[in-house]
Amino acid sequence: MADPFSAAKAGAKIPGTGTGPIPFDQDRLHLAMDNAHLDAVIVTSKVNVRYLTGGYNCIFFETMNELGIGQYGPTILYRKTHPEHTLFLGSYFDKEQLPNDPIWIPNVDISSWVHYSTIPLIIDWIKKEKLENSTIGLEYPFLAADIYMALQSELPNVKWVDAVQPLEYVRAIKRPDELAILRSASEKVVEAMLYGFRETKPGMSSRDIEKMVAHEERRLGLTFDYCLVGIGKDANRTPRDNIKFEAGMIMDFDSGGNIKGYIGDVCRMGSSGEPEPLQKQLLEEINHVQMASRAPIKPGARGGEIVDAGKKAIAECEHGSWMGYIAHGMGLVSHEAPRLVTKPIPYPNEWAERPLEAGMVVSIETTIAKPECGYVKLEDTVSVTETGWEGFGDGGRSWNPIGS
């Protein structure tokens, strides 16, 4: 029987490869590599493989990575001075999809089943490119330990550097098509939430309600990620069977769903009848913080001005001491660049001191969770435009009726 990978091993062109223009800002990638002193990058995260290929994502591994005793290991090897030498390492499962979802990368090897079988291919490429004494970027959080140990052993003179933040820098500015997808994802998540509020009935558990919202998100074309459901004055929003919605309660949905990997992530409130005066006041205060945070958003503004404006608005609120607040970038990764805070998520906030640029997308969220009121929250997605800002999925930001 013929070896199904013989064409790839022989270097023959694989259908669907070397097709179309480079789909990302190559100058921005090269600038990021220069700033990090990188001669090449080895890209192993599914997010960045998807981004640098222009959206390619193996459908067999859409919801899993594991295979046998390893995992799917898509890899891109990119050298700044010779982009035409870029190599994509795929697997048996990519061979039928690539002709239908073509990529620009001209050099493709699909002889690997799992991640560790890419090791000799990566080492061979580095040696062919004469990069044995160079500086090469790796995605440390997304690189298997067995690959890293082999690279260190076989290439002792290479200087390995973490490339997560340089690659994040490239993704920070969204193209018009990316913005359109993020807008659509946000709007559809809100649409599914409003459906969930309308269709909730007394006696339904938060697990029942989560399943209903998930079904609606999928019907609208989203890949469902999660839906947290707060009911009444219980501040634990984990969907479960032992808490039921009853008439007169409030409810919140905090849900994420994606289109082609681009995440819609928003939070909206619902009420069965009139919310209590305190609950009503708290949502008004939260909205004040949310809108104040948008006010400074424009190209050239320091990223930290968003947080400064939010904190100033919190100080103006009667219940500001109750509030949790965060602002962060949104795209293919939740909490990507621009990252603006160090708490509660402990990541670096260097974007707080950098200027905002048109095409950036920011999630702003303000939360109050107290026994006096339950869980009251708004989370909004806002893009930086040439003249200011635009809210994505801005519907349903007040109290939405439940069961009507």
User: DSSP characters for 163-220?
Assistant: -HHHHHHHHTSPPHHHHHHHHHHHHHHHHHHHHHHHH--TT-BHHHHHHHHHHHHHHT
List per-residue pLDDT tens for the chain, 404 residues long.
444 444 444 456 788 888 889 999 999 999 999 999 999 999 999 999 999 999 999 999 988 999 999 999 999 999 999 999 999 999 988 988 999 999 999 999 999 999 999 999 999 999 999 999 999 999 999 999 999 999 999 999 999 999 999 999 999 999 999 999 999 999 999 999 999 999 999 999 999 999 999 999 999 999 999 999 999 999 899 999 999 999 999 999 999 999 999 999 999 999 999 999 999 999 999 999 999 999 999 999 999 999 999 999 999 999 999 999 999 999 999 999 999 999 989 999 999 999 999 999 999 999 999 999 999 999 999 999 999 999 999 999 999 999 97
Q: Are strands 87-91 and 107-112 parallel, antiparallel or unpaired?
A: parallel
Q: Cα dihedral sign for 103, 106, 111, 112?
A: negative
C-alpha span between 68 and 84 (Å, rounded): 33
Q: Each residue of 106-126: pLDDT tens digit?
A: 999 999 999 999 999 999 999
Give 284: exposed, middle or buried? Use CB within 10 Å, 0-12, 13-18, 19+: exposed
Q: How far apart are CA 274 and CA 237, in angstroms?
A: 21
Report the alpha-carbon distance of residue 243 to residue 115 in Å, rounded.
43
Give the separation between CA 324 and CA 327, rounded to whole angstroms: 11
Both tokens of 222, joined, read 């989203």
Amino acid (one-letter) located at 263: I
Indicate the SS3 state at residue 311.
helix
State how far Cα 311 lies from the chain centre: 25
As beta bridge partners, residue 377 has: 367
243 CB-near residues (< 8 Å, 6+ apart):
205, 206, 231, 232, 234, 236
CA distance 174 to 24: 10
Determine how many CB atoms are found less than 10 A away from the CB of residue 250.
25
Contact assessment for residue 73 and residue 89, using Cβ atoms and an 8 Å cutoff? yes
Cα dihedral sign, 140-143-145-147: negative
